[in-house]
Amino acid sequence: AQKITQTQPGMFVQEKEAVTLDCTYDTSDPSYGLFWYKQPSSGEMIFLIYQGSYDQQNATEGRYSLNFQKARKSANLVISASQLGDSAMYFCAMRATGNQFYFGTGTSLTVIP
């Protein structure tokens, strides 16, 4: 069975600090992709970053990086230099050979000025 777990319902971070949002996954497929999405209060789902199961290096996109630890089945999102606009819900998702995307329950991030 495919499963994504996000154990942090809510997180707070001081502006300009870094924050790590946790994500663990479970799959028996050898090939899979891991994704992070941001959902601001306006409601749209915004793709942030992708990590493939065979990628040797951790993915980075600007201030976002994915801390991929395959043996531990974790794919944590790191946001560096937090900004007020980073306040949002963040969802981790996995796509395996079945094609569908499995989403976690999300983490609400609040950036404090």
Partner 1 sequence: DAGVIQSPRHEVTEMGQEVTLRCKPISGHNSLFWYRQTMMRGLELLIYFNNNVPIDDSGMPEDRFSAKMPNASFSTLKIQPSEPRDSAVYFCASSLWAGRSQNTEAFFGQGTRLTVV
Query: In terms of CB distance, is 13 or 93 closer to partner 1?
Result: 93
Query: In terms of CB distance, is 35 or 68 closer to partner 1?
Result: 35
- Closest to 74 measured CA to CA, from 62, 82, 83, 66: 66
As a whole number of Å, the CA-based R_g of the chain is: 13
Query: In terms of CB distance, is 44 or 113 closer to partner 1?
Result: 44
Query: In terms of CB distance, is 31 or 113 closer to partner 1?
Result: 31
Q: Does 91 bind partner 1 (CB under 8 A)?
A: yes
Please say whether the beta carbons of 76 and 59 come within 8 A. no
Please say whether the beta carbons of 84 and 20 come within 8 A. no
Q: Which of 20, 22, 74, 101 binds partner 1 (CB under 8 A)?
A: 101
| Residues that contact partner 1, how many (by CB under 8 A) | 25
Break the chain down into helix, strand, coil percent, rounded to 5. 5, 50, 45
Give 38's strand partners: 46, 90
Binding site for partner 1 (CB under 8 A): 31-33, 35, 37, 43-45, 47, 50, 52-53, 91, 93, 95-103, 105-106
